[in-house]
Amino acid sequence: MRLNSSLVESTAFEKHLVNRKRKKSWAIKAAGFTLMLTSMVDMFSMLVVFLLQTFSSSPEILITKGVELPNSVTPSIVREAPVLSLSKNGNLYLDQKLVGATTAVTKSPDLLLKKLNYIKNSWAKSHSDPFPGEINLQADKEVKSTTVSQIMGVLTSSQYQSIQLAVIGK
């Protein structure tokens, strides 16, 4: 059986209709694959803001040069406060600035008390709430515990009752 050649060959108009139908079906399929860029950009910007707030909520303390902190199994969250450092070579630092030798400060703590009172007064000027009395104490692991307790005694006499000892968490 032989087909009529007019039935097999299509006209230009028929080809146009077939191509038009193919283009419409492709457009319908392509609409499902489009990305909503506005929503995606909003989502990523919220993610960036969340990550920035999460990592900036816990302050970090610089460890004074020459101080090797002891290890601890149960570290706690660091609170932002002035940092007093006792190095193994016998120097005492307040916020990375040398105060003097630890033995001299324990015998005559006037210079340290003066600097601590300055911090306390500047807190009162810049904040409406009362002074919290917090300080971070970094002591090298080779410093004697009696020296650390003497410095802690000086701190408590100057209204720094909340002393956080800095350690390295495992």
Q: What is the dihedral of CA 78, 83, 86, 92, to 10 degrees?
A: 180
Look up the CATH number of domain 71-169: 3.30.420
Q: Where are the alpha helices (DSSP H) in 12-144?
A: 12-31, 37-56, 102-107, 110-126
Enter the DSSP assignment of 51: H
From first to last of its 170 residues, the chain has per-residue pLDDT tens of 455 555 556 778 888 877 877 776 655 555 555 667 788 888 999 999 988 877 765 566 677 777 878 777 877 777 778 888 888 888 888 888 888 888 888 888 888 888 888 888 888 888 888 878 888 888 888 888 888 888 888 888 878 888 888 787 76
Note the pTM of the prediction, 2 decimals. 0.60
Backbone angles phi, psi at 117, to 5 degrees: -65, -35
Q: Domain residues of the chain, as ranges? A: 5-56, 71-169
CB-based burial, 18-33: b 16+ in 10 Å, e otherwise: eeeeeeeeeeeeeeee
